[in-house]
Chains A and B, each alone.
Chain A
Amino acid sequence: MTSTKRISLYAVLIICTAVMMFPIFYAFSISFMDGEEVLDGQLLPSSFSLTNYAEVFEKVPLLTYLINSFATSAIVMIGQLLVSSLAAFAFVFMKFKGRDFVFFLFISTMMIPWEATMVPNFMTVQSLGWTNNYVGLTIPFFALAFGTFLLRQHFKTIPKELYEASQVAGISRFRFFWNVILPVSRSSLVTLGIYSFLTNWNMYLWPLLVTNTESARTVQIGLKQLQTQEIASDWGVVMAGVVIVILPTLILLFAGQKKLQKGLTQGALK
């Protein structure tokens, strides 16, 4: 590449970054401003005061919401990893009647949009008494066809000889799964873990339906509440809330972007 080309490529990259990152940058910037600066329409705050951050925790029980979001995302992540890896293991290492049929069932779940089934799901969860608690927010999401396919892809790369050797040595299938397969698949499990944490942290519609008490709400619903309460009055406080909510997932994404990209492409395409 010639140096002119290189310089123009960097110029285009910087312009694109400025455009794409602007909303995030804007949110950070507003979160440090006082009311007057926001009304003036300034781009940069005059000081980095943390008043808005302190205030947002008083306006809504943000700490409770954060704990709820962390807990439910972590529970769903662990649940999805377990349930998906068990299913993927059966698909790769076991042969039995009806396996192809079950595989077809897994594929067909990907064609049913979650939103088309939300009304009966809400009724189910309500009749089980699972509203306003972690059970209702987590259990319905434990099984994941995409996660099963992603792990299946990785399990298929593990040499069959390893499995045969374990059979000869008389190790039970479950011990082989737990002590051999899971440790060697660490990287795929991490990818799926990041993906499922991100998705569940960011979930909006389901928590909106199944939580209506402050003790059960998640951060995403907290943002809606904050925005409805504070509309047109104190955008600095609202943006401080936004920043607190996006920070964990942005950090997770920055740390795991390479893994996520590799894993998602593999799970999706092969």
Chain B
Amino acid sequence: MNAARELQSVPAEEQQPSKSRFAFLEGWLYLLPSIVLFGVFVFYPMFRTIYLSFFLADQIGPFEFAGLENYHYILSSDSFQSSIKATVLFVLFTVPATIILALFLALLTSEKIMGIGIFRTFFSSTMGMSVAASSVIWMFMYNPSIGVFSKVAEWLGLPVIQWLQNPDYALLAVSLSTIWMSTGFAYLIILGGLQNIDPHLYENARVAGVSYFYQLRRITLPMLSPTLFFIVTVSFINAFQTFGQIDILTKGGPVESTNVIVYSIYKDAFINNDVGSASAQAVILFFCVLALTVLQFKLGERKVHYQ
């Protein structure tokens, strides 16, 4: 986010008053479509969500002021606690694994050898896969009688697991499919970061005759840190917003073991018609994402090495 700083450092141009008034109007005119759309579809609904969270409300609108009742209610409900637990576990299962896998694949394909383009395309391909399509494929793979996981387990003489029906395994199964879905995007970003590293650094290292792992630890990872920092933030935020794979694979079950927060909001608002409770959960989601972003920026500023 050097951008904000850069903008501020631009000195204001000295202009005649009439000209500058015109520039003022014209400038705002170019920004108007964005401002109106953000106002209607981002800022207004955010404030509206906060407002609704203090009311008893249904899909028509608020009908009774409730103070903090919605918050009391969800924070003490078992359902919301299991939803928080599922969300946190899901984030922990998916984010580190996705990034390590993507980093590994990116390092493998950073060498310029023959046919590398094909491999790069293959590894980024899950980025083109929709959540719905991916989830349907994984649902079949997890099918206990004909899916590939059961066939392999049978072949190895292992017990067949009801991946999506067993509360002990369902979240793990959804996480595994999510890791696969998100690797393509993370890979593409990390590969881009690797290619931006100044090749001279490696030449010097080669002259000095250092080992590959020394080079990885002292050159590649430090130079890659802004990229890694970015992709970690984005992956965290994406993981908090997971919905599609839950809706298709498990519907939040079995026994709410995969009822992650966005699915819980969706269920409360559109199935149980309890908009107040859904809004309170949405506010909590918003603050989680906000805290995470701020925290990462604070940490990032100190730890990240910018070129």
Interface residues, chain A, with chain B CB atoms under 8 Å away: 1, 6, 9-10, 12-13, 16-17, 20-24, 26-27, 30, 38-41, 43, 82-84, 86-87, 89-91, 94-100, 102-107, 109, 111-124, 139-140, 142-143, 145, 148-149, 152, 173, 198, 201-202, 204-205, 208-209, 220-221, 223-224, 226-227, 235, 238-239, 242, 245-246, 249-250, 252-254, 257, 260-262, 264-265, 268-270
Nearest-neighbour CB distance to chain B for A85, whole angstroms, equals: 9
**Are B35 and A246 in contact (CB-based, < 8 A)?**
no
A148 — which chain B residues lie within 8 A by C-beta?
A: 34
Nearest-neighbour CB distance to chain A for B79, whole angstroms, equals: 18
Can you identify 11 A-B contacts, CB atoms within 8 angstroms? A1-B111, A10-B113, A94-B30, A100-B4, A103-B4, A107-B1, A113-B286, A117-B42, A119-B49, A124-B44, A152-B3
The docked-state distance in angstroms from the alpha carbon of A107 to that of B10 is 18
Nearest-neighbour CB distance to chain A for B48, whole angstroms, equals: 4
A252 — which chain B residues lie within 8 A by C-beta?
A: 128
CB of B28 within 8 Å of the partner chain: yes
Interface residues, chain B, with chain A CB atoms under 8 Å away: 1-4, 7-8, 10, 12-13, 20, 23-24, 26-28, 30-31, 33-35, 37-38, 40-46, 48-49, 52, 59, 61, 105, 108-109, 111, 113, 119-134, 136-141, 146-148, 150-151, 180, 183, 188-189, 191-193, 195-196, 226-227, 230, 234, 237, 240-241, 243-244, 247-248, 262, 265-266, 269-270, 275, 278-279, 282-283, 285-286, 289-290, 293
The docked-state distance in angstroms from the alpha carbon of A202 to that of B134 is 11
**Are B140 and A239 in contact (CB-based, < 8 A)?**
yes
Beta-carbon nearest neighbor of A82 in chain B: B33
20 additional A-B pairs beyond A20-B125, A253-B124, beta carbons within 8 Å, are A13-B119, A20-B122, A20-B183, A21-B122, A95-B27, A96-B26, A96-B28, A99-B7, A107-B1, A109-B43, A113-B237, A116-B265, A120-B45, A140-B37, A143-B34, A205-B243, A261-B188, A261-B192, A265-B189, A269-B226
The docked-state distance in angstroms from the alpha carbon of A148 to that of B33 is 12
**Are A257 and B124 in contact (CB-based, < 8 A)?**
yes
A145 — which chain B residues lie within 8 A by C-beta?
A: 38
**Are A115 and B262 in contact (CB-based, < 8 A)?**
yes
B128 — which chain A residues lie within 8 A by C-beta?
A: 198, 246, 249-250, 252-254
A96 — which chain B residues lie within 8 A by C-beta?
A: 20, 23-24, 26-28
- Contact A249 to B31, CB < 8 A, known contacts A13-B109, A119-B282, A269-B227: no
Nearest-neighbour CB distance to chain B for A196, whole angstroms, equals: 13
The docked-state distance in angstroms from the alpha carbon of A269 to that of B121 is 22
The docked-state distance in angstroms from the alpha carbon of A116 to that of B53 is 11
The docked-state distance in angstroms from the alpha carbon of A152 to that of B46 is 26
The docked-state distance in angstroms from the alpha carbon of A118 to that of B268 is 12
**Are B286 and A12 in contact (CB-based, < 8 A)?**
no
The docked-state distance in angstroms from the alpha carbon of A107 to that of B126 is 28
The docked-state distance in angstroms from the alpha carbon of A145 to that of B42 is 11
Nearest-neighbour CB distance to chain A for B245, whole angstroms, equals: 9
Nearest-neighbour CB distance to chain A for B280, whole angstroms, equals: 11
A contacts with B: majority SS: helix
**Are B244 and A268 in contact (CB-based, < 8 A)?**
no
Centre residue among A145, A224, A261 by max chain B CB count within 10 A: A261
The docked-state distance in angstroms from the alpha carbon of A6 to that of B270 is 55
A9 — which chain B residues lie within 8 A by C-beta?
A: 108, 111, 113
- Contact A103 to B133, CB < 8 A, known contacts A83-B37, A115-B243, A253-B128: no
Contact of B129 among A99, A107, A122, A249 (CB under 8 A): A249
- Contact A90 to B30, CB < 8 A, known contacts A109-B42, A223-B132, A254-B121: yes
Nearest-neighbour CB distance to chain B for A225, whole angstroms, equals: 10
**Are B285 and A105 in contact (CB-based, < 8 A)?**
no
Nearest-neighbour CB distance to chain B for A126, whole angstroms, equals: 8
**Are B46 and A116 in contact (CB-based, < 8 A)?**
yes
The docked-state distance in angstroms from the alpha carbon of A38 to that of B62 is 51
A97 — which chain B residues lie within 8 A by C-beta?
A: 24
- Contact A114 to B241, CB < 8 A, known contacts A107-B4, A220-B130, A227-B248: yes
A235 — which chain B residues lie within 8 A by C-beta?
A: 140, 146
**Are A115 and B188 in contact (CB-based, < 8 A)?**
no
Beta-carbon nearest neighbor of A104 in chain B: B4
Contact of A120 among B49, B180, B244 (CB under 8 A): B49
Contact of A106 among B34, B134, B234, B278 (CB under 8 A): B34
The docked-state distance in angstroms from the alpha carbon of A22 to that of B141 is 10
**Are B33 and A143 in contact (CB-based, < 8 A)?**
yes
Centre residue among B122, B151, B283 by max chain A CB count within 10 A: B122
Beta-carbon nearest neighbor of A149 in chain B: B3
The docked-state distance in angstroms from the alpha carbon of A64 to that of B137 is 23
Nearest-neighbour CB distance to chain A for B265, whole angstroms, equals: 7
**Are B108 and A13 in contact (CB-based, < 8 A)?**
yes
**Are A115 and B134 in contact (CB-based, < 8 A)?**
no
**Are A98 and B28 in contact (CB-based, < 8 A)?**
yes
Contact of B35 among A102, A121, A268 (CB under 8 A): A102
Name the 10 nearest CB pairs between A and B, nearest first. Answer: A265-B192, A253-B128, A202-B130, A143-B37, A120-B45, A96-B27, A117-B45, A90-B30, A120-B48, A249-B128
